Amino acid sequence: MSRFLRSAAAPPPADPTAVRLAQLTARQDQALAYVDRGLAANRGNTAVTDVLLDLRNLLRPPERPAL
């Protein structure tokens, strides 16, 4: 039988927690990219730069302890 005629196995059901974590990670990456663009655009404006640096530090994920 041809391998093209075989039905593909159904993907396993998605874990809702994993899906939510992936969505949050993608949004966090988008937010960090937006902050980085703002930092690049406002290099001379120290007031805006300070706020964006604080925001970037808040958005940075916590460091995991070494095992």
pLDDT single digits (tens) 2-58: 555 666 666 676 788 888 888 888 999 999 999 999 999 988 889 999 999 999 999
Q: What is the pLDDT of residue 41?
A: 93
Give the closest residue to 38 by CA, choosing from 48, 47, 27: 48
Name 43's Cβ contacts closer than 8 Å, sequence gap at least 6.
Answer: 49
Domain boundaries, the chain: 16-59
pLDDT for 17 equals 87
- The answer to whether 48 and 38 have CB atoms below 8 angstroms apart is yes
Residues in the chain, total: 67
* Spatial CB neighbours of 59, under 8 Å, sequence gap ≥ 6: 28, 31, 32, 35
8/53 Cα distance (integer angstroms): 48
